[in-house]
Amino acid sequence: MTETVLSVRDLRVAFETRRGTLTAIDGVSLEIGRGEILGVVGESGAGKSVTGSAVIGLIDPPGRIAGGEIRLGSERIDDLPPEKMRRIRGRRIGMIFQDPLTSLDPLYRVGEQIVETIRTHTDLSAKTARARAIDLLTEVGIPAPERRIDGYPHEFSGGMRQRVVIALALAAEPELIIADEPTTALDVSVQAQVITLLKRLCREHGTAVMLVTHDMGVIAEAADRVAVMYSGRIAEIGPVAEVVRAPRHPYARGLMGAIPTLSDTAERLTQIPGSMPRLTAIPPGCAFHPRCPNVFGRCRVERPEPILVGGTRVACHLYDARGEAA
């Protein structure tokens, strides 16, 4: 991998509640290199969005980072005071959320919002900042940007708004972009445009992207590597071709088989019995063991550590046992 932009080591995020401490993220480690898109997938409650929020320092109380470390480049950012973190957000880490309307202020023209972002993080003059805003809008594919820059968010369609949000995220040329379900609210034809755009910009600017989504199709097309999360832990992380075509973790295997595709001819979809455990009742040992078709004694008591198998890291005792046998 080229130079590492983001590195997360053994991250733990806990929420204090009246009924005790809930661990939403438990020992997550990942890194993203320059110009690389890391997909983070999982079903609802897997902790994928919380991982993204932890990186940008937006975990709200009663939640807190309870362990591990997050590094942006060589600098540790998980223990920074809020004021310092605020300056990193937007400048060095850009954000794209699911609903573009909540990221844009309805009372300000689109251009004013981009210019404000540029001028907060750089020392460009108002005039150059506006020229740069027009360049950004052109880059994200908004037609007639000289005119549209003075439009209000409600005058843009859903797809166009998400393009404006991407322009905002890129405004200060960040090293890292956290995109949390950026295409979920969009129709498929528009979704395709936004994915293509995100891929192109990331390649051109060398920006690292953490793409959080529940949609494996989006990950398969956009990401270079993918992390499959389950119950706040990473089940499998590796190159997208390996994880999607030949998943190793039983959960990843079940997940891929459960997704209807445009090409397979299976009459029945693979079923994973049951559903993800609640945070209050994460089973001991491997969190997936009650639903796992390959479960054996050790899975119920001992939590699997990630093991390097081929090009992927898999947290599953099956591979450990195999390793020992070999």
Partner 1 sequence: MRAARTSAAPAGAYVEVEDLRRVFDVSKPWLNRLIEREPRQSLKAVDGVGFAIPRGETFALVGESGSGKSTVARMVVGLLPPSAGEVRISGVSMTDPRQEAARRRLRARIQMIFQDPYASMNPRWRVGSIIAEPIRAFNLIQGEGAIRARVGELLRLVGLHPDDARKYPHEFSGGQRQRIAIARALASQAEFLVGDEPTSALDVSVQAQILNLMRDLQDRFGLTYLFISHNLAVVRHMATRIGVMYLGRLVEVGPKAGIFASPRHPYTRMLLDAVPDLAHIGRARTPVSGEIPNPIDPPPGCTFNPRCPHANDRCRSEVPALLDGVACHAVEEGRLPS
| Residues at the contact surface with partner 1, assessed by CB under 8 A | 43-44, 157-160, 187-193, 195-196, 214-218, 220-222, 224, 240-241, 244-245, 254-263, 267-272, 275-276
Supply the DSSP symbol for 306: P
Residue whose pair of structure tokens reads 């940007």 in the numeric block: 145
| Whether residue 62 has a cis bond before it, omega within 30° of 0 | yes
Rounded (10°) CA dihedral 150, 139, 54, 223: 150
Indicate the angle between helix axes 158-170 and 188-205, nearest 10 degrees: 10
CB of 260 to partner 1, least distance (A): 4
CB of 158 to partner 1, least distance (A): 8
CB of 242 to partner 1, least distance (A): 10
Which is closer to partner 1, CB of 246 or CB of 321? 246
Q: Which is nearer to partner 1, 171 or 316 (CB)?
A: 316
For partner 1, the closer CB: 74 or 263: 263
When the beta carbons of 217 and 290 are compared against partner 1, the nearer one is 217
- Token output for 110: 């689109």
Name the burial class of residue 188, with classes exposed (0-12), middle (13-18) and buried (19+) by CB atoms within 10 angstroms of its CB.
Answer: exposed
Within 10 A of 265 (CB to CB), how many other CB atoms are there? 5
Q: Is the CB of 21 or the CB of 275 nearer to partner 1? A: 275
Q: Going along 217-271, which residue ranges are E strands?
A: 225-230, 233-239
- In the complex, what is the shortest distance from the CB of residue 234 to partner 1, in angstroms, rounded to a whole number? 17
Please give the Cα distance from 164 to 29 (Å, whole number).
Answer: 32
Measured distance CA(157)–CA(153) in Å, rounded: 8
Residue 33 vs 67, nearer CB to partner 1: 33
**What is the distance between the alpha carbons of residues 161 and 212, in angstroms, rounded to a whole number?**
19
Nearer to partner 1, 72 or 240 (CB): 240
One-letter amino acid at 64 equals R
- Type of residue numbered 160: M
Separation of alpha carbons 95 and 178, rounded Å: 5
Q: Quick one: 246 or 301, whose CB is closer to partner 1?
A: 246
Shortest separation between residue 308's beta carbon and partner 1, angstroms? 21
What is the nearest approach in angstroms of partner 1 to the Cβ of residue 113?
22
* Nearest Cα to Cα of residue 62 among 264, 279, 316: 279
Q: Tokens 């937007």 belong to which residue?
A: 90
Q: In angstroms, give the least distance from the CB of 141 to partner 1.
A: 9
Can you tell me the distance from the alpha carbon of 173 to that of 321, in angstroms, rounded to the nearest whole number? Answer: 46
| Smallest distance, partner 1 to C-beta of residue 292, A | 13
